[in-house]
Amino acid sequence: MSTVKEQLIENLTAEDKTSQCKITIVGTGAVGMACAICILLKDLADELALVDVAEDKLKGEMMDLQHGSLFFSTSKITSGKDYSVSANSKLVIVTAGARQQEGEGRLALVQRNVNIMKSIIPTIVRHSPDCKMLIVSNPVDILTYVVWKLSGLPATRVIGSGCNLDSARFRYLIGEKLGCNDLVHVYIM
């Protein structure tokens, strides 16, 4: 039972509370940053961590998000090259990967991106062993399988974005051609 003093005086010292819903995005290119902005605007996390090898770009992207924090309620945004910033994440979104070169097929990306996944996935799992992973890097179906095998996580915790982005692009292009964007519902399987 609390005393009158305890009931009247509130503890004003900051408590070190652990994040309840931390999301990490690995890769701060256009897709990674689009994911970050959507997460922040939809208030999906109380902490957002960004990881990338390009340290200067990473710092700039983090500062842009922090400076825009007036418009969303995520209380903590961090970044770093070191995967320790991803510790205890509930969700890790992997958008990192080699860029597809002009005229290069998606399958040609496989070996380069598999090597990238080999270098990052074990470290992510070490820092966030209970996370779920959403793979966005291309070719997404192959890399989702590779990440599942590399991570040792149950298959239910490694998810690929599938053809969502391709479907969105296809929907837009068909709608533009026909002049009816809002009416087009197509999916790439």
- Asked if 87 and 127 count as a contact pair (C-beta separation under 8 A), the reply is yes
From its phi and psi, is residue 152 left (phi > 0), alpha (psi between -120 and 50) or beta? Answer: left
Does residue 117 lie within any of the structural domains? Answer: yes
What CATH number is attached to the domain comprising 24?
3.40.50.720
Residue 81 lies in a domain: yes
The pLDDT value recorded for residue 73 is 82
Domain for residue 188, yes or no?
no
Distance CA 91, CA 157 (A): 9
Evaluate whether residue 11 is within a structural domain: no
Determine, yes or no, domain membership for 142. yes
pLDDT of residue 5: 63
The pair of three-digit structure tokens given for residue 134, joined into one six-digit string: 């959403």
- Give the per-residue pLDDT at 72: 85
For the chain, which ranges sit under pLDDT 50? Answer: none
Q: Does residue 171 form part of some domain?
A: no
Q: Which domain holds residue 73?
A: 19-96+106-162
- The answer to whether 119 touches 137, Cβ cutoff 8 Å, is no
Question: How many distinct structural domains can be found in the chain?
Answer: 1
Provide the b/e sequence for 6-16 (b: ≥16 CB within 10 Å): eeeeeeeeeee
Give the per-residue pLDDT at 18.
66
Contact 124, 131 (CB under 8 A): yes
**Predicted structure pTM score:** 0.82
Q: What integer pLDDT is reported at residue 9 of this predicted model? A: 66
